Structures are given as C-alpha cells and as structure tokens.
C-alpha cells in the first residue's frame, strides 16, 4: 500500500479492517489496545467485509502528495486553519502528528493513540470506525501568512506564494478568505472526509483554529462510469478540457513545481487556488437554452462544443455560421478559458459542487462551484481569471465569494513528515 517501513507499521499499521475481522465480539470495557496501538472492534460480522475492497485504499507517501493527480473522489472536505501559537516547535510537532495521522487514516486505521482507555478521551473521534477509507487522500498546503515573522519561515517563502490580487468577479466574504494552512480531504464517503479534517483540527487544539471549511460533492462513482464528465449545478458538463492527470508531460509543464522555483523544498509540490464561486442559479434557470449554450460555448446535453458534435471534439474557435457570426461566441466561457486564448496557460481543476442551503438575505439558493485548481504558479490562475473576468459571458451568473491560495509541499516517505519541508 505504501513504502513505509516496518517501524511505522508496528506502531500504526494495524488496520481498522484487520481488527474488525480478527476480534469478534468484545464486551464493554474490554482492554483492546496494546500500548500505543490502535483498535476498533465490532461484533457485527458484516463489518469486516465492508471496507476491504482493493482500490479503496490509496498510498499516502510518494513523490507528490496524494489528492492532486489522484482522480477526483466523489466528496471533499476542505479546511483553512490559522496558527495561534507563536512557538515554531509546537507547529513543527503538529505537522509531524498530522502526517502520521493522515497516513493512518488514508490506510484505513484510526488516528494513532489509545482508543479504549476508559480514563482518556479516545484518540479518534470514531465516526469512521468500520467504514472503508473510500480512497481517502489528505493533502496539506501552506498559506502566504504562514511565512510571516511568527515562525522564522520568511526565508522559506516561495516567491510565487502571495495573496491573490483583486480580480474581476470578486465579491469576497472575509469569512471565506485566506488561511495559514489548508487541509484537503477527499474520499468517496463524506463521513470519512469530514472525519479526517475534524480529527486533524482536533489534534491542533491550542495550536491552530478553524478559519473556514467547505464540503463539496461531485462525481458519483458508485453509480456512474468514471469516464463520465460530471455536470456542474448549471447542468453543463464541467472539466472536458481539463488536464488528465496521467499525462506526465502536462503535469510537469503546468502543475508540479520544478527547478524554476526559488525554494528547493517545494519542488515536486504544487499550488492550490481555492475559490468559492456562487452561482446565481435562479437567474441562470430562467435563461433560454440558446443563451445558456452560447454562454458556455457548448451544447448542454451532449457537452459538445458548439463547433462540433461530440464532447471531446476540439473547439474550433474560428468557425463561422452561415450568418458569418462566430459559432462559438467571442465571449463564450470555453473560448476565454481556453489555453489557445491564454498563451497556453493551463491548470489542473479539481472542483466540487456545493450547496449551503438558503441565503438568508435573499431567500435564494446558496450554492455553486467550490473551485479547486492546482498549478505550478498561482499566476496561471490570475491570468485565466483576468481573461475571463473582462468579458466572460458566464460572469453575469457567478460571484467569487471566497478565495485562498496555498503552497502544497511534495510528498512524504515513510520516514519523513510534513514538518520536514519547513523545519528541516
């Protein structure tokens, strides 16, 4: 499952599933866990058959962090946190603990620590006991503010890491902007994703506090083909022209930080731009189909560019109809967001839909796209958003109401941790 060494396996490698299968019925209060061991048990014999499917566990360690090139899981829980301690050692220790816990959870184990000591709070909050990790990945990022004077990290700040400039379409709610750190937990199971974020935040009590959090949903891999491009809440297929993460050339060219970075620690990492984009759904829904399709430059049902017939057809931005007009309008989203229109700039999108109920001020739906995108330099996003913001037909129907940027370090090995990137 990963290349972690036997020493780590001794202290962390007892999987939730292994225990479920091996323990059988245990009475209340039974002392299950060896010192420092992890245990979950159930007398429900169905439990140990539940999560063991191969493919439900993704490696944690590797050259890159999981959760970036990983094909998008169905659900995301994304948290931005602020560091409240002024003590660099405390932060460093938390990063150690976080990577060990994230490694354990992604492999199907509870967070390390006592689980059945009656006189202690359980190390793991428990809501994911007996559940498969369902492809859980946990990805960390460091915000620009982490590199201020507090922790002596100014010299490690990547030049490319800065708060995003004001951009067209911004109507930012300060409650959803920024953060010293981010945690992206993706899984096919929302309870597992939430559990991961909650347990890491809990371990940070006294060191970090929540700043904002967003849940999102997207694919539905249990019922649909992985090949099907998911639809956004405007009803259009979204991501047809996205980078396919198994294209190493595109990933190296656009997503993974390389030798161009001033910070060697970041090479093999990436930057994530998070934008909470509200869709004005009631207004959108009143549009006639022709206008909806002209806005995107695509056919709604098939996803084909208006110049083509199939979803994967490459848009022909020069095609003109019998009336001499551009088939894909000059202000169509697919045109203005295209690499052809942006000097080749591309990003790896990893967005999810969200809905947070009703806007109390207007009574309208509060939902849209929780846009996550990975790139080797946040300027890629700035370039695209400026291009879109000037003329994009879609801007009439969306508002950017949250924003943050983080530098995501490269991956870990079995004997390294998220601490090492900053404090080695």
Sites for a copy of itself among residues 182-241 (CB under 8 A): 188-192, 194, 198, 201-202, 205, 209-215, 217-218, 220, 222-225, 227-229, 231-236
The DSSP letter of residue 231 is B
In the complex with a copy of itself, the residue whose CB is nearer, 227 or 260, is 227
Choose, by CB under 8 A, the member of 162, 301, 314, 391 that binds a copy of itself: 301
* CB of residue 368 to a copy of itself, shortest distance in Å: 12
The DSSP letter of residue 33 is P
* Residue tagged 């259009």 (tokens): 236
Q: How many whole angstroms separate alpha carbon 47 and alpha carbon 12?
A: 21
Binding track over 320-359 against a copy of itself, x by CB under 8 A: ---------------------------------x-xxxx-
In the complex with a copy of itself, the residue whose CB is nearer, 225 or 260, is 225
User: Among residue numbers 17 through 46, which ones bind a copy of itself (CB under 8 A)?
Assistant: 25-29, 32, 39-44, 46
Give the count of residues interacting with a copy of itself (CB under 8 A).
105
Three-state secondary-structure class, residue 81: strand
* CB of residue 319 to a copy of itself, shortest distance in Å: 11
* CB of residue 77 to a copy of itself, shortest distance in Å: 8
Query: CB count, 10 Å around CB of 172?
Result: 20
* Residue tagged 């992985």 (tokens): 226
Choose, by CB under 8 A, the member of 303, 368, 409, 411 that binds a copy of itself: 303
Residue 368: half-sphere exposure toward Cβ, Cα within 13 Å: 25
Choose, by CB under 8 A, the member of 244, 258, 264, 302 that binds a copy of itself: 302
* CB of residue 412 to a copy of itself, shortest distance in Å: 26
* CB of residue 43 to a copy of itself, shortest distance in Å: 5
Does 121 participate in binding a copy of itself (rule CB under 8 A)?
A: yes
Does 286 participate in binding a copy of itself (rule CB under 8 A)?
A: yes
Does 71 participate in binding a copy of itself (rule CB under 8 A)?
A: no
Alpha helices in 136-280 (DSSP H): 190-203, 248-254
* Residue tagged 């050692």 (tokens): 89
* CB of residue 81 to a copy of itself, shortest distance in Å: 10
* CB of residue 399 to a copy of itself, shortest distance in Å: 18
244-250 contacts, C-beta under 8 A, 24 or more apart = 245/68, 245/69, 245/70, 245/71, 245/348, 246/69, 250/346
Helix or strand run (H / E) with residue 8: helix 6-12
Does 283 participate in binding a copy of itself (rule CB under 8 A)?
A: no
Where does this chain touch a copy of itself (CB under 8 A) — which range of 57-65, 155-163, 266-274, 360-368? 360-368
Does 126 participate in binding a copy of itself (rule CB under 8 A)?
A: yes
Helix or strand run (H / E) with residue 371: strand 365-375
Q: How many whole angstroms separate alpha carbon 12 and alpha carbon 104?
A: 6
Dihedral angle sign, alpha carbons of residues 17, 111, 220, 363: positive
Does 403 participate in binding a copy of itself (rule CB under 8 A)?
A: no
Q: How many whole angstroms separate alpha carbon 224 and alpha carbon 219?
A: 8
User: Among residue numbers 145 through 184, which ones bind a copy of itself (CB under 8 A)?
Assistant: 175
User: Among residue numbers 367 through 386, which ones bind a copy of itself (CB under 8 A)?
Assistant: 367
* Residue tagged 């990577």 (tokens): 99
User: Among residue numbers 46 through 65, which ones bind a copy of itself (CB under 8 A)?
Assistant: 46-47, 49-51, 53, 56
Q: How many whole angstroms separate alpha carbon 52 and alpha carbon 18?
A: 9
Does 98 participate in binding a copy of itself (rule CB under 8 A)?
A: no
In the complex with a copy of itself, the residue whose CB is nearer, 38 or 388, is 38
Q: How many whole angstroms separate alpha carbon 250 and alpha carbon 142?
A: 24
Question: Exposed, middle or buried: residue 361 (CB in 10 Å: 0-12, 13-18, 19+)?
Answer: exposed
* CB of residue 7 to a copy of itself, shortest distance in Å: 27
* CB of residue 11 to a copy of itself, shortest distance in Å: 20
Contact 402, 182 (CB under 8 A): no
* CB of residue 105 to a copy of itself, shortest distance in Å: 14
Choose, by CB under 8 A, the member of 119, 260, 323, 343 that binds a copy of itself: 119
Three-state secondary-structure class, residue 22: helix
The token pair at 245 is 């993460």
Q: If phi over 0 gives left and psi between -120 and 50 gives alpha, with beta otherwise, what is residue 289? A: alpha
Q: How many whole angstroms separate alpha carbon 278 and alpha carbon 389?
A: 15
Nearest to 78 by CA among 200, 195, 203, 216: 216
In the complex with a copy of itself, the residue whose CB is nearer, 212 or 423, is 212
In the complex with a copy of itself, the residue whose CB is nearer, 155 or 290, is 290
């Amino acid at each position: 499952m990963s290349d972690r060494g036997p020493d780590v396996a001794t202290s962390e490698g007892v999987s939730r599933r292994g225990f479920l299968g091996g323990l059988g019925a245990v009475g209340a209060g039974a002392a299950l866990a060896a010192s420092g061991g992890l245990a979950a048990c159930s007398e429900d014999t169905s439990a140990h058959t539940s999560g063991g499917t191969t493919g439900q566990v993704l490696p944690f360690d590797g050259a890159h962090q999981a959760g970036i090139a990983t094909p998008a899981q169905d659900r995301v829980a994304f948290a931005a946190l602020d560091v409240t301690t002024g003590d660099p050692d405390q932060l460093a220790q938390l990063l150690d603990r976080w990577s060990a816990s994230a490694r354990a959870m992604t492999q199907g184990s509870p967070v390390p620590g006592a689980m059945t000591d009656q006189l202690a709070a359980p190390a793991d909050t428990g809501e994911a006991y007996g559940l498969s990790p369902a492809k859980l990945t946990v990805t960390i990022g460091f915000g620009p503010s982490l590199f201020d004077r507090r922790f002596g990290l100014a010299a490690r700040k990547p030049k490319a890491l800065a708060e995003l400039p004001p951009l067209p379409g911004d109507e930012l709610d300060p409650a959803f902007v920024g953060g010293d750190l981010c945690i992206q937990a993706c899984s096919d199971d929302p309870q597992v994703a939430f559990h991961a974020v909650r347990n890491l935040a809990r371990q940070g009590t006294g060191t970090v506090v929540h700043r904002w959090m967003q849940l999102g949903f997207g694919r539905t891999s249990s019922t649909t083909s992985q090949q099907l491009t998911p639809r956004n809440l405007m009803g259009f297929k979204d991501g047809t022209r996205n980078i396919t993460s198994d294209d190493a050339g595109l990933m190296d060219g656009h997503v993974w930080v390389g030798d161009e970075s001033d910070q060697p620690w970041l090479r093999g990492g990436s930057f994530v731009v998070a934008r909470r984009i509200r869709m004005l759904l009631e207004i959108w829904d009143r549009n006639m189909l022709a206008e909806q399709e002209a806005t995107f430059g695509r056919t709604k049902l098939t996803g084909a560019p208006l110049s083509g017939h199939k979803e994967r057809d490459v848009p022909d931005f020069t095609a003109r109809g019998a009336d001499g007009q551009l088939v894909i309008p000059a202000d169509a989203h697919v045109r203005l967001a295209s690499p052809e229109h942006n000097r080749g700039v591309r990003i790896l999108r990893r967005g999810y839909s969200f809905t947070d109920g009703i806007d109390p001020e207007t009574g309208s739906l509060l939902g849209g796209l929780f846009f996550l995108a990975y790139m080797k330099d946040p300027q890629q996003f700035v370039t695209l958003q400026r291009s879109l913001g000037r003329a994009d037909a879609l801007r009439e129907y969306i508002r950017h109401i949250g924003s943050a940027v983080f530098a995501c370090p490269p991956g870990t090995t079995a004997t390294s941790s998220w601490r090492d990137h900053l404090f080695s």
